[in-house]
Amino acid sequence: MVVSNTLEKDKRRNDAYHQKWLNDECWKASLKYSSQLIKNSKTNDIDNLCHSIYGQYINELQSRRLPMKNKNYIQIWSTMLNTVKRGNHTQMAIKLLHQTNLQRSS
């Protein structure tokens, strides 16, 4: 019985470690693409740039088969895109996206 509990605990620990690793990888990818966005944020066509970089980010998540459903790292990108689409505080939305990525990926 003690061996069984130990094996179950090890399995749960491994599962938790794997979930944390997946989450960390997604935040690192998000940081990579938000850094590109920050570097190019002074362009005139910011709406197309944001959608293009977001598409690259989603493509990387899909190609690496990382989780995307109901995740905060997807939601912050959606919020930024909605803000840019409305034309309100575009630069602040991009900076907030990048700041969130910096905090989450470290």
* DSSP code, position 87: T
In the predicted structure, residue 62 carries a pLDDT above the cut 80: yes
Contact, 61 vs 11, CB < 8 A?
A: no
Contact, 49 vs 43, CB < 8 A?
A: yes
Write down the pLDDT at residue 2.
60
pTM: 0.88
Percent of the chain with pLDDT over 70: 97
What DSSP letter does each residue of 7-60 carry, written as one string? HHHHHHHHHHHHHHHHHHHHHHHHHHHHHHHHHTTTSS-HHHHHHHHHHHHHHH
